[in-house]
Amino acid sequence: MIYPKIPLAQTVIQLCKEKKIKHIVISPGSRNAPLTIGFTNDPYFSCYSIVDERSAAFFALGIAQKLQEPTAVLCTSGSALLNYYPAISEAYYSDIPLVVLSADRPKHLIGIGDGQTINQKNVFENHVLFSSNLKLDIKDENNIPDHEELPMMKNIEDKLERFLGFQKNIQTHNEIEINEAINNAIINKGPVHINIPFDEPLYETVGKLTVSPKSEDIVLKNKPIDSYIIQSCLEDWNSVAKKMVLVGVCNPNEVEQKWLNELAEDNSIIVFTETTSNLHHESFFPSIDQLIAPLSKEEQKQLKPDILITFGGLIVSKKIKTFLRKHQPKQHWHIDKKLANDTFFCLTNHIEATPNQFFETLLPKITHYVKSNYRDVWALVKQKRLQKHRQYLAQIPFSDLKVFEVLLKSVPKNYILQVGNSSAIRYTQLFSIDKSLEVYCNRGTSGIDGSTSTAVGCAVVSKKPTVFITGDLSFIYDSNALWNNYIPKNFRIIVINNQGGGIFRILPGHKNSENFDAYFETTHDLSAKHLCKMYGIEYVSAKTVLQIKSKMQTFYSDSERPRLLEIFTPRTLNDEILLEYFDFIT
């Protein structure tokens, strides 16, 4: 096998292998050549070449998001590294294990005007779990750090001994740092940054490894919940008749169904689920905005919970945030091993556990259900809202809202549904999703910048086919996501083209002015058609419901290339139909 000659490169590669980091996303460069040579010549690794570093990082994010395993992304020195930042911040706020490997110039070449050099040390310190700066290997006795300050060596043996001693110390330091970084990504689930200096020559190889780094064991601990916490929760639980469980982003099958079933049996509990929660039960309340938006002041008071229990990632619905901030429960418990966001400004208890741990410890201790009609009352409201929802959709003209109704019904069972941010995920939230679908969306920072790249990365490693639904701005913004050779033939993209940032028409503001059109909605007349031609993707389009339904008959069928459906909707009508929707269902 071929290995890079540089010991530091060998060390990084071997420890990645020991930690079972299999997927390596590489952007081309020279300074990262030692690592590229090593990774690509070892059959253990699955390597991907993605030119655009921003896209590459989101591609890696999609892999890690789907597999829930650490994924590495590798780049050369300089501004290339900074392009990783959007994906790193998303990984940080979404608890996704992303291992960032950046090649760097030696210290003596930084800050002197050399090409492709920036201050890479700790550049992501506010958005990574751990930042490691490795040390340059010593090539010979003239490369010993601070050698001018050392006493004069009497002979060659002294020089050699000092050289070997320094190199051993450097090797030990590097092994400790790499171990700690990767272990952090795995244990605490989040991004880490390992900055790796290389000196020339960069392309030399050897046939045998020259170092054998030690891999530190990864210790995953499930700390039991303190009994006094459970006892306190139990007392409060049994004393109130209105309990609300609100679930944010969760991975599929993250919470055992038996605990969900038990929650559903208790009439004092209503469970609000977001599309991204991947939780389903006929007694739960999906489509939160559908229920919340039309509430009268009196109904809002009635809905206010005594105890709010939250788990999962960040919440999409602005309406539930506004409601709970205005009508704060007496207690808010958040269940999470890492942190608890005080989203509703009333957090009283951070229970450091997984949802399974918490429910497994608490629910069996509940011997009787509190007498309550809390869920039954809101189940009737839900039923009425759903009836009005169907009536409205049956009478509206072609629009974004109508398109999402048709599309979400058409997705085949057991697909992965990746959803773009902004309008796309908010429209999706208004509909019930088939429970066989796995739903993903980058809600850590809620940016539109890498949704397509994330979806592609997810599709590459998934055993299930993937469909990605997105808006036009998000798709065009991240069009370099299509610039790679790894997109599966069964990957499907649906672009809702409303000729601009449609969400800004929904938000309060002065619409239909030259300033609004240019600087907020950013109207355009672009199409995905030419991008599809350039990247070898089958392209179809639709402008009516009948055309969509016709295209859907073959859209998901087997093909030799990925497919994209572009749906053109009326730009100035979409917002009116959505805003009238909430009036109608009241």
Q: What digits encode the pLDDT tens for the residues 360-407?
A: 999 999 988 999 999 999 999 999 999 999 999 999 999 999 999 999
Q: Specify whether 95 is located in the same domain as 49.
A: yes
Query: Which pLDDT does position 512 carry in this prediction?
Result: 66
Report pLDDT digits (tens) over 402-432.
999 999 999 999 999 999 998 999 999 999 9
Last residue of a domain, one of 342, 377, 412: 377
Q: Specify whether 184 is located in the same domain as 145.
A: yes
Query: Is residue 385 included in any domain, yes or no?
Result: no
Q: Specify whether 366 is located in the same domain as 431.
A: no
Residue 143 has pLDDT above 70, yes or no: no
Instruction: Name residue 130's beta-bridge partners.
Output: 192
Query: Which pLDDT does position 248 carry in this prediction?
Result: 97
Q: How far, CA to CA in Å, does 453 sit from each of 55, 249, 456, 556?
A: 6, 19, 5, 20
Residue 492 has pLDDT above 70, yes or no: yes
Query: Is residue 95 included in any domain, yes or no?
Result: yes
Q: What is the pTM of this model?
A: 0.93
Out of 140-154, 239-253, 443-457, 543-557, pick the least confident. Answer: 140-154
Q: What domain range includes position 357?
A: 227-377
Q: Specify whether 295 is located in the same domain as 438.
A: no
Q: Specify whether 353 is located in the same domain as 456.
A: no
Q: Specify whether 316 is located in the same domain as 289.
A: yes
Query: Which pLDDT does position 141 carry in this prediction?
Result: 43
Tokens of 437: 């679908």
Give the closest residue to 167 by CA, choosing from 194, 195, 147.
Answer: 147
Average pLDDT over residues 100-127: 92
Distance from the first to the final alpha carbon of the chain: 69
Number of other CB atoms surrounding residue 111 within 10 Å? 11
Percent of residues, the chain, with pLDDT higher than 90: 85
Q: Specify whether 177 is located in the same domain as 285.
A: no
pLDDT band at residue 154, thresholds of 50, 70 and 90? low
Query: Is residue 222 included in any domain, yes or no?
Result: no
Q: Specify whether 414 is located in the same domain as 306.
A: no
pLDDT band at residue 139, thresholds of 50, 70 and 90? confident
pLDDT band at residue 150, thresholds of 50, 70 and 90? very low
Into how many domains does the chain fold?
Answer: 3
- Which is it for strands 466-471 and 492-497: parallel, antiparallel or unpaired? parallel
Give the closest residue to 522 by CA, choosing from 478, 579, 472, 475.
Answer: 472
Q: Specify whether 415 is located in the same domain as 276.
A: no
Q: Domain containing 411 — which CATH number? A: 3.40.50.970
Out of 257-261, 278-282, 501-505, pick the least confident. Answer: 501-505
Out of 8-22, 39-53, 106-120, pick the least confident. Answer: 106-120
Q: Domain containing 259 — which CATH number? A: 3.40.50.1220
Query: Is residue 360 included in any domain, yes or no?
Result: yes
Report pLDDT digits (tens) over 545-560.
999 999 999 999 999 9
Q: Specify whether 355 is located in the same domain as 423.
A: no
Q: Specify whether 90 is located in the same domain as 188.
A: yes
Q: Specify whether 236 is located in the same domain as 185.
A: no
Instruction: Quote the CA–CA distance of 192 and 195 in Å, as a whole number.
Output: 10
